[in-house]
Structure 1
């Protein structure tokens, strides 16, 4: 865990280092270009001027702490990287990174547990920024039953569990579609987060061999396809789910900002009936 978590736990920031205007300017320019936003457009969003944005990016003007945060907000910079921008400008990090097992996170953990349990018998789980499973309910545990121990050893990783050839992949009837959806999801996150760890995970799971699961013979007319379903074999039947992902609004902690709750909504009456009978 970072020292930032301890320093910020009582509302006190870590000591800033000697940042420079040119350093933070280069970082801000990189984020602006990555987001494909012009200096004029960013200036209009931030109630500033293109001239001032140019001066900040070239190091001719040092931005205030609040202006750094304002630009980061309009460029959708992840919370973790907002701390990096502040440090580059010579300011203290604003956002702590508190371990989930810290007593200050008791209410968060209790709320997540209540949400997961309340969703049963349908599957739900919580993952972090690199898809490591933070918590899961019994619906998820049932789907993972029988997988090899090396995939179930902590930390469990949701992408490995789904896409590994010894994981759930052989059971997924529409594997190629679902795999394409997951890889595209990771690509979008990599573009937003600049995460080396996420990039490494992507390269690992994208390289897994993909067996042909055969044609999915489900009757297309049974349910409307308002979203791509996950169709997975389980105990001699095919269960169908629609995935929904939720995050926290305006997170003030790096740990919380990187959590996501995924719920699997039954996509047909047969799946609902089966899971309710199991529950």
Structure 2
């Protein structure tokens, strides 16, 4: 009489192994971090054992799995999702929206915006509106996408003096996120903007090899005949408990030279 192989207790094994390999962590190291054993973790990955809910969450935390994907791991293990995904316009998000609006207004006249996981613009201040002035209406139809607005040949791209370097920086940033988060939606945006033709037929990156006296790569952009320089900074929420909040990012543009500061302040009533 032959014995049938044990049935898989859950579908979490392949997902967990994929995240572990993405983070380049051994079974032993992950098990020690999560307070388990390499043997048990091996059984989980091969489908021979079902992990407890708390262990799933500990493993996800040690692997820095995005909040959305933590829900996927829980579901694959047979548990209910732990993290809600609340629309930003829900009444319960009122304090968050108010806080974001206050932050953006407080940063004016310097540009700042809030984007989600695919760079869809959630909120922006007057500094961003100033940079986008004059863009074609076809690009300003909601929902706005920050990467599309920046790299589209009819968007900000023709105004960016160091477009080749800045474009390379943005594409590399998206590549890192795709590798970490497995986001197909973000990959679609990446493939779209990567395929954009040069903003100018003579776009050869002229001037980008010149010495740049900045502390970080700036975005050098023209506005009404004035050359402005900004350094970008991105902030996220610490220990988010909601998928929507976890995927928000606040990007602020810090003036990189005194001329930019003086010009922006001159626009402030």
TM-score range, shorter chain: over 0.9
User: Residues of 2 paired with 1:155 and 1:116: CA distance?
Assistant: 19
Task: State the TM-score, normalizing by the size of structure 2.
Answer: 0.93
Determine if the alignment matches structure 1 residue 233 to structure 2 residue 222: yes
Determine if the alignment matches structure 1 residue 163 to structure 2 residue 154: no
Task: Write out the 4+ residue segments of structure 1 that deviate beyond 6 Å after TM superposition.
Answer: none
Specify the alignment match of 1:62 in structure 2.
50
Q: CA deviation at 1:215?
A: 2.6
Determine if the alignment matches structure 1 residue 141 to structure 2 residue 132: no
Q: CA deviation at 1:104?
A: 0.2
Q: CA deviation at 1:21?
A: 3.2
- Unpaired stretches in structure 2, ≥5 consecutive residues: 1-7
Specify the alignment match of 1:248 in structure 2.
237
User: Residues of 1 paired with 2:91 and 2:243: CA distance?
Assistant: 16
Determine if the alignment matches structure 1 residue 49 to structure 2 residue 37: yes
Relative to structure 1, the CA distance from residue 219 to residue 30 in structure 2 (aligned partners, 3 Å threshold; closer, same or farther) is closer
Alignment of 1:162-241 (within 5 A): 162-210=150-198, 211=200, 212=203, 215-216=206-207, 220=211, 224-241=213-230
- Unpaired stretches in structure 1, ≥5 consecutive residues: 1-19
Query: Which moved further from structure 2: 114-123 or 193-202?
Result: 193-202
Specify the alignment match of 2:4 in structure 1.
none
Q: RMSD across aligned C-alpha pairs, in angstroms?
A: 1.5
Specify the alignment match of 2:28 in structure 1.
40
Query: Which moved further from structure 2: 236-245 or 46-55?
Result: 46-55
Are 1:131 and 1:157, in contact at CA under 8 Å, matched by a contact in 2? Answer: yes
User: Residues of 2 paired with 1:21 and 1:146: CA distance?
Assistant: 58
Task: State the TM-score, normalizing by the size of structure 1.
Answer: 0.90
Determine if the alignment matches structure 1 residue 125 to structure 2 residue 99: no
Write the deviation string for residues 200-254 of structure 1: whole angstroms up to 9, x where unpaired: 1100000001231663389847xx4211000001000110000000000010000
Write the deviation string for residues 66-124 of structure 1: whole angstroms up to 9, x where unpaired: 00000011111110010011111111100000000000000000000000000000000
**Size of the alignment, in residue pairs?**
258
